[in-house]
Structure 1
Amino acid sequence: MTFFDRVKGKKLTVRYESGFAFTIVYPEEGLLSWKALGESIAVTQEEERYEVLEIRDGLYFVNWVEGPGTVLSQLLDFESGKVSAFMTWNDENAFGKREKILHKGTFTVEEA
């Protein structure tokens, strides 16, 4: 089963231990729409083009670049419901002028 087959018509709710939480829907292959839950970030929703790599059946590496320069790489394990993600964004005061965070958490899948 492809990644898009797993997420088509579904909503993923992602909750990271860091406190960040999002819903993500995939209206078409290669396109996602995310929305922040709560007020933990400045941008609260966007639509993005994504790339995906299947690691094995049920384990996918999903990546996208957001307009303001935020880059997100997610590892979604549909068997365990666990997610890991690396996020980086522009920050003039950070090393390499990029701030970063490594997230761990869980996700659920439901009908959109």
Structure 2
Amino acid sequence: MEGNMFSGLGNDPHIDNKVLQTFLQKSFGQVQSILDQNRLLINQINQNHESRLPDNISRNVGLIRELNNNIKRIVELYADLSKSVTKSIEASSEGDSSGALRSDAKASLKRNRPI
């Protein structure tokens, strides 16, 4: 995923939250779709294994590879989600320190103190 997903949005936390929410919904939808596909693959692998037919068992090699690739893709999606949520939280906390309104519409009372 792109590292600067929220750049160019200005300081409006409502836009950031809306973009993040849309991104999360899309990403979780992708994850769910892959998990549904994995369920079907696992069922097929089990059926092939139980049949004990050489052709079916040899097909399992490709099915298991596909399952493994799907799991790798899910890990990548969750890593991207984690990075995006972390960046959003960091951007929100930076906005809070300036006295801006947070996404819950409450003003932050934090002050910037010199180090």
TM exceeding 0.5: no
Bigger share in strand = 1
The one of the two structures with greater contact order (alpha-carbon pairs below 8 A, sep at least 6) is 2
Q: Identify the TM-score tier after normalising by the shorter chain.
A: under 0.3
Rg bigger for which structure? 2
TM-score (norm: length of structure 2): 0.22
